[in-house]
Each structure stands twice: as C-alpha cells, then as structure tokens.
Chains A and B, each alone.
Chain A
Amino acid sequence: MTALPPAGTSVAPGVPAGRRLSAWLSGRPRVRLAALLAPPAIWLTLVYLAALLALLTTAFFSVDEFTNAVTRTLTLSNVRDVVSDPAYLRASARTVGVAAAVTALCTVIAIPMAFFMAKVAPARSRGLLVALVLTPLWASYLVKVYAWQAMVQPGSGVIAWVLRPLGVDGPGYGLMAVVLTLTYLWLPYMVLPVYAGLERLPDSLVDASADLGAGPWRTFRNVVLPLAYPSIVAGSVFTFSLSLGDYITVQIVGGKAQLLANIVFANYAANLPFAAAIAIIPVLITVAYLAVVRRTGALDNL
C-alpha cells in the first residue's frame, strides 16, 4: 500500500478505498488542485490548442501544382493569395456583415421574448417557456435549414406566398435568406443568456424606475438594457461566432452566395493549405470581436 494515510491521519480499518482516498486528499490541497485541473488543462492544450496550431502551420505549407497534394515546403503564398485577392476581402466583409446582422436580429427578437419569459409570464410557466425555446434545438440542424429552404424558396416558398397579396417578392435564395435562417437557428443561444440575465434582474428595479417617473421605454433603456447588456454580449458571442463558421445553411439557402466557411469547405479537399489560410480569417475576426467585447467590460460581469 503506497497510499497509506500519513501520520496524524487516522483512518479506521475497513473504510472503503474511495473514502480513504478522500481523507488522504483532504489534507493535500495542492494535490487536489492538480488532480482537478489536469483534465481540462490536457484537453485545452492537446485537443484545442494543438488543432489550432496545426491549422496555423498548414496555412504555410505548399501544394503540388499538379495533384494539389500537400508538401511540407514552407511558403507565404497561401496567405499572400488570401490577402491580395479582393474577392476574399469581400467575402470576409460579407461574412462579418451576415454574422453582425444575425446577431442584431437575434438580439432584437430575443430581448422582448426573454423579457416576457422572465418578467411578465407567471413564474410557474417559465419552465415551459424555456422548454419551448429549447425545442428547436432538439430538431436536426439539417431539417431546420431545409424547412427554411421551403420558407424562402422563390415563387413557391411560404414567405413568397404570404407576401404575394402585398405585391412583394419573398427574399428568395441569397444572403437575406441566410440571415433569416441563421437567426432562426441561433435564436435560442441568444434568448437563454438574456433570459437568465433578466431573471437575475430584480423586479423591484423595474418597479423603482417606474416609481421614479420613468415610462416603459425609458425604464427599458436606462435600467433593463444596461443590466441585461452582459448577457446580450454573452449571447452575441454565440450567435456571432456560430454565424461566422456556418457553411451548410449558406449552401442550402444562400444561392450562389459564399461565406468564409464555404470557401474553406470548397478548398479543403483541393488545396488544404489555402483552406487553412482562409480559415485563419474567422479565427482572427473572433479574436478581434472578443477583444472589443472585453474592452467594453461586458465579460467581467459574466
């Protein structure tokens, strides 16, 4: 037995091993801490950082000009191709635009929803409402996207059909359809944090604002919004980064529109280093986004 209790720790014989281990650990906070931190640390370095590093390195590899097979000759040409071709700059701008639009739409829709759930609906129906918001997450991603394909389909789509009497065409396939579909897909990721944030917001603060003479809009702007801001930012991290990395929705309802992830997808088989070089763009955008968010101080309150 190597794990004998140290002197001064008396453990009765016949105590199960698990309890003995706990007793042994209880006197050794450093060992405890190390044991607790080891799995996440290993996960973070090996799985997460190693993959990112591999991506980064691959971007500087070359390909055989004939087979496009990867060769480990270091080159800057992939990065140069990405940077020098305005098409990719436009695609980056388009991608950020879509992610920002999705985030904005999600926010605009989620705040009243979350407010209703957290502050208006009776307390006992909140669980049900949360479950309802979560329900779409149980459905397959593809099913939802194809459902939206049927919604936005030009001519025969549901939206086109609804708008026809007004003499307006539906959005059809394209970026608008992508924004709508992604908004639908990621909405729960915005509603939940905002709901959690608003639920933590004491009712009395809303009452107090009204009591001091503020109308509903003023109360929303001066009290609810500032206090819900960190949760909105938390939700936006989800909606923004998820939009940044999506390509299937774009393929299905985007028409010929391409976002960064589509370019990665289209190139990874033909030219992996180039795809890796493109894939670095969303990583940089996300880092920049988090940096901006951090500057606002919103992350401190999470």
Chain B
Amino acid sequence: MLRTAHVKIATAAAGLALLASACGTTSGGGTTPSAGGGRAKPPSLKALGSVGAGEGTVNILAWAGYAEDGTTDKTVDWVTPFEKETGCQAKVQVANTSDEMFEKMGSGTFDVVSASGDSSLRMIYAGKVAPVNTALLTNYADVPAFEKDQNWNSVDSVAYGMPHGWGAQLMAYRTDKVKPAPDSWSVVWDPGSPYKGAITNYDSPVDGIAAAAVYLMSTKPDLAIKNPYALDQKQFDAAIALLQQQKPAVGTYWASYTDAQKALESGTTVVGSTWQIIVNLAKADKAPVESVLPKEGATGWADTWMVDAKSPHPNCAYLWMNWETKPDVQAQIAEWFGEAPANTKACALTTDKTHCDTYHAQDEAYFSKLWFWSTPQSDCLDGRTDVKCLPYSQWSKAWSSLRS
C-alpha cells in the first residue's frame, strides 16, 4: 500500500504540473453553458492531424464487455478481427469504476479509454485526454446529433472523444425472489422493503448519490431537485440521509461487475442497481434474473472513447475507435453489453431487430430523460446561480463517509 501511494504521488505530481501550466487558477469568467461552467478552459492540447500506419500495439482501458476477445464467450470477439485488420495488438484492461479510469489515464500507460460522464470531464480538465479530430473518426457522422457536444464528451464544442453507446443504470432483480416484478425503485429505498439485507447498490459516489436524488425527485418534489448532479447543501443532505437510511438494508455495495453477477446468481443479493451486461451474464448462467427501468427514471451512462494526452500509439488508438464504432461491431457490442449503440447504423445489423427500439437508441426524448453521469461542480449544472452546489470532492467525501 505504501509503495502504491508512493507511485501515485509521482503520477499525480506529473499530472499536476501539466494542469498547473495549462489552466492556472480558476477564472470564473467564461460562460460555457453545458460543460465546466465557470471554470477555466481545459489545457490546450492538439488533436491528431492524420491517421498514419498503426504502431503495432494499442493499450485499452475499458468497461467490461466493451473489448471482447473471445475469452468470455468464444462467439463474442471483435478484438481479434481488429488485430488482424490493423496489425495493432490490443491489450485490454477492464476497469471497475470511473475513479479507477481517472487514476490510470494521463500517463501514456493507456492509449484509449471508454470514459463515462462522471470521469470524462475531469479527465479533460486534468489534461489527461486530448481532443479528437472528428474528421479522422470515420463513424462520427453516423452518431445522432443529440449525443454530440454534451457535457461528458465536449468542452466549448471541442470534441474530446468518440461516442460509444449509452444506457440506463437499471434495476436487476431475481424473478424467483422478488414478487411481484418491481416497477419502482421503492423496493430498494423504502425502509420497509421486504428485501432488507439482499439489496445491492453500485459503489460509486456520483451514481450512488445521484440515484438517491433521482428517487427524491419523484418522492420529495418539495426539494425541487432539477438535476441529480446539481445538488445544493439541502438537497445533498436529503440524498445522503436517504442513503444512510437505506444502508442497513443493503447487503453489498458492488464495485466489480463479476462480484455483482455472482451475488445475483447465488441469491446473496436479489434486487438493486445493475448494468444490463451483468444481467445478461447471469442469465447466460441460467440464473433467474431480469432487469427493469423503474418508473422514477434512472441515472445513466454515456460512454466515450477518449485518447490519452500522452498516448504512445495514437494511430492505433484512432484505428481502434473507428473499429469499435463500425456499424457491425457496434451491433455486436450493443447486444452483448445491452446498451444503445452510438452509431445508429448498427440498428440494422443486430440479430434481434428490435434491439435499438428496446434500448431507445434513436429516441431523443428517452435519451433526454436519463440522468447521464456528470461530474458535480460548485456552479450548479442546472443553471441555478443563487446557490452553490456541492462539487465532486464533497460527493466523494460524503460517499466515503457513508461507506465507512
């Protein structure tokens, strides 16, 4: 542990130097509506000018299920064809949390990352990732406009990544234990829940607290929460209180998707926050598990492939992003992982022709209802100027305290 801490300091210091040289102190002058409101501009980094020949290797930091090479399931493999086609050997590491991704990026250890909204903006402002040259992204044009220039993938209309796909933080439940089939988050938040002790929650400061806020939006309208990532002190305290009250009923806070899958399969947990892929894997193991998007709405993720600012293999990184967002590959990923593909041309290629409809891939209205992971800031994301919202550091502290 001490050694790790030591290394961390070195990398943190390196990142810090970059940040300090590039962004200086907070100016508070700029008004960038959606991203980094009130903050200085991100460090100015150059996007790649052109894609040359591959460097032979690409290091990928990805969510589970995003870069399958056939080891999980023989038939699920889009990494091997990529390697054959481009000559770039893909070295994939699976990350469990956004914090882990934030921690590991920025040093050139990895070339690309499938960043989610609760870390992408932080990575941009920390200078960990470079802008992308959308002209070099062969599939960028096929991404619906409503997914572009969002506060998790762009700053000042400068794109920092290639949209990959999106989905909701669903609720998983054991069909044999949770009856009737739930349609509300109340089964996990209600103090009288019959599933006390077998409830699971995702161990993430941003999603954890925002999920409580989403539930409060419909159950405590007088709190006037407009955006679950923009909480003033009173709203924040209410969310934390809800989490504290839920804590005795929680069996596990899952951080690793395999642990979450095992817990569902063994019945250790019977209901709670999940990813579709966890449910898919559990069902593949013949576990009686289903998922549902509860009526209160949900948090969601919109993932973006981003290039490390110090990427040693930028050509392969672009080749990877282009490969990963090809219609046929997007179709495979979307069905395997259970998400809406960013490239809607994939919708024609899925084996289940209703897949895109199920996941509302082209449904802008649905998309706008999900609360995609964002990094909380003191200048409220919902545009309020009369109060200060709690920034990410407070969220992570509160979560740490809650979990202790």
Contacts and interface: CB of A to CB of B under 8 A. Distances in A.
Interface of A: 50-52, 54-55, 58, 63-72, 81, 85, 87-88, 90-91, 153-156, 173, 245, 251-252, 255-256, 258, 261-264, 266-272, 274-276, 279
Q: B interface, by DSSP: helix, strand, loop or mixed?
A: helix
Given A87-B402, A263-B404, A66 B1 contact: no
B156 interface: no
A81 B9 CA distance: 21
Contacts of B403: 256, 258, 262-263, 266
A96 to B, nearest CB: 14
Contact of B5 (A71, A91, A251, A276): A276
A269 B391 contact: no
Interface in B244-297: 247, 250-253, 255, 259, 266-268
B16 A67 contact: no
Given A67-B125, A69-B126, A269 B102 contact: yes
A47 B394 CA distance: 33
A49 to B, nearest CB: 10
A279 B1 contact: yes
B247 A256 contact: yes
Categorize the interface residue count of chain B.
35 or more
B344 interface: no
Interface string B383-394: 000000001111
Interface string B1-21: 111111011001101100110
B103 interface: yes
B392 A68 contact: yes
Contact of B404 (A50, A55, A66, A91): A91
B183 interface: no
Contacts of A91: 404
B9 A256 contact: no
B3 A51 contact: yes
A69 B2 contact: no
26 contacts: A51-B6, A52-B2, A54-B2, A54-B6, A55-B2, A58-B5, A64-B126, A65-B391, A66-B378, A67-B122, A67-B392, A69-B15, A85-B401, A87-B402, A88-B401, A173-B251, A173-B252, A255-B252, A263-B404, A266-B203, A266-B400, A269-B102, A270-B205, A272-B9, A274-B397, A276-B5
B299 interface: no
Contacts of B4: 268
Given A66-B39, A69-B12, A268 B5 contact: yes
B99 interface: yes
The 8 A-B pairs of least Cβ separation, nearest first, read A269-B103, A269-B99, A65-B391, A70-B12, A91-B404, A51-B2, A87-B404, A67-B122
Contact of B266 (A50, A70, A153, A251): A153
Contacts of A51: 2-3, 5-6
Contacts of B205: 270
A198 B389 CA distance: 63
Contacts of A69: 12, 15-16, 19, 122, 126
A87 B16 contact: no
B350 interface: no
B153 interface: no
Interface of B: 1-6, 8-9, 12-13, 15-16, 19-20, 36, 39, 97, 99-100, 102-103, 122, 125-126, 203, 205, 247, 250-253, 255, 259, 266-268, 375, 377-378, 391-394, 396-397, 400-404
Contact of A68 (B1, B122, B266, B267): B122
Contacts of B6: 50-51, 54-55
A270 B99 contact: yes
B380 to A, nearest CB: 13
Nearest to B250: A256
Contact of A274 (B13, B19, B400): B400
A50 B36 CA distance: 37
Q: A interface, by DSSP: helix, strand, loop or mixed?
A: helix
B397 A251 contact: no
A170 to B, nearest CB: 12
Contacts of A272: 5, 8-9, 12
Given A65-B393, A156-B266, A255 B251 contact: yes
A81 B397 CA distance: 9
Nearest to A72: B16
Given A72-B16, A272-B8, A66 B125 contact: yes
Contacts of B5: 51, 54-55, 58, 268, 272, 275-276, 279
A68 B396 contact: yes
Contacts of B400: 263, 266-267, 270-271, 274
A277 B109 CA distance: 27
B396 A153 contact: no
A153 B262 CA distance: 11
Contacts of A55: 2, 5-6
Contacts of B268: 153-155, 173
Contacts of B1: 245, 261, 264, 279
A106 B252 CA distance: 27
Contact of A70 (B2, B13, B404): B13
Contacts of A155: 266-268
A123 to B, nearest CB: 41
A72 B402 CA distance: 27
Given A66-B39, A271-B400, 9 more contacts: A55-B5, A66-B375, A67-B126, A67-B375, A70-B9, A256-B250, A272-B8, A274-B397, A279-B5
